[in-house]
Amino acid sequence: MNQYDIIIIGAGPGGLTAGIYAGRQGTKNLIIDKDLAGGLGREVPAMENYPGFDSISGMELIEKIKEQAIKNCDLHEMEEVTEITKTDAEYRFTVETDKDEYQSKTVILATGSSHRQLGAKGEDEFKGKGVSYCATCDGFFFAGRDIIMVGGGNSALQEALYLKNLGANVTIVHRRDEFRAQKHLQDMIKEAEINTILNATVDEIKGEMLVESVVLKDTQTGELTELPINGVFVSVGYIPHTELANQLGVQLDESGHIITDKNQKTNIDYVYAIGDVCVGLKQWVVACGEGAVAATSAFTDIQ
């Protein structure tokens, strides 16, 4: 049986940082991720608020953090954790994956989140056929074409700017009368002369083989308007991945996020949580800080 002091589930910015700190403390540690390291962070086209970099892509920053992490801990990518059970033994947790089984004294949940869907008619039908949740993955297909970006937060405006720079004809659709994004990003949208449609939601996505139009609903009047477009990019928030937390009986808040204390401890002894799966600000720098705190807490608790 493979035994560790700390197993970190999830290799996003927070999980990788936890691995760095855990390894430097002299403990034996493992990070497991069902995908490639970085998660949704790999999709970020450009960040201008991460300390030390005026601008850097999520992919580039993840590779830098990953390179540092693997010097301090084991990293298993493309391996999915299917079950975690807790016992009273020294190695309290048995972590089963689709490839192996491990034991650990502590567990850090860094399971992240996934894109929230619109729930519009036609959305599932046209996934990969004009509907996308990743501007950096699919944006180059839409150079010179008419698209909408749905959302009003930082990610939506960042991706709209990225798509505009690729040569797409972008219109931002937002359900409220003003954006929630940082003023800096809103100013950039104005400078780029990106069209916006406020107080509107996507009611239906239409087309034959590919997306050809969307039906927008005015949130104030209920009026429906059909807009000819070639693509729909969606950035309307995230759904936390708490399946493993639920197995362990970890407490969640009303929005479905994990509740932790200032040491990133959950209500279950020797279980910690960090990053987007937790209550709090969804930012890389926050997830990294939480990773450092959780790794230090776990180290202290097993001494």
Query: What percent of the chain has pLDDT above 70?
Result: 100
- Give the burial string for 64-100 (b: 16+ CB within 10 Å, else e): ebbeebbebbbbbeeeebeebebeeeebbbbbebeee
- Domain 117-234 belongs to what architecture? 3-Layer(bba) Sandwich (3.50)
pLDDT band at 279 (very low <50, low <70, confident <90, very high): confident
Domain pair 2-114+238-301 / 117-234, same fold: yes
Catalytic residue among 134, 146, 218, 301: 134
44 has pLDDT over 90? no
Residue ranges per structural domain of the chain: 2-114+238-301, 117-234
Per the annotation, the verdict on 278 as an active-site residue is: no
Here the tokens at position 74 are 């084991």
- Distance between CA atoms of 52 and 152, rounded to whole angstroms? 27
Task: Please write the tens of the pLDDT for every residue from 20-40.
Answer: 999 999 999 999 999 999 988
Domain 2-114+238-301 = CATH 2.40.10.10: no
Catalytic residue among 35, 138, 146, 301: 138
Q: What is the pLDDT of residue 18?
A: 98
Q: What is the pLDDT of residue 66?
A: 96
- Distance between CA atoms of 257 and 278, rounded to whole angstroms? 5
Catalytic residue among 98, 100, 124, 137: 137
1 has pLDDT over 80? no
Per the annotation, the verdict on 146 as an active-site residue is: no
Q: What is the pLDDT of residue 49?
A: 82
What average pLDDT does range 104-116 have in this prediction? 94
Q: What is the pLDDT of residue 268?
A: 97
Per the annotation, the verdict on 134 as an active-site residue is: yes
Task: Please write the tens of the pLDDT for every residue from 50-98.
Answer: 899 988 988 999 999 999 999 999 999 999 999 999 998 999 999 999 9
pLDDT band at 43 (very low <50, low <70, confident <90, very high): confident
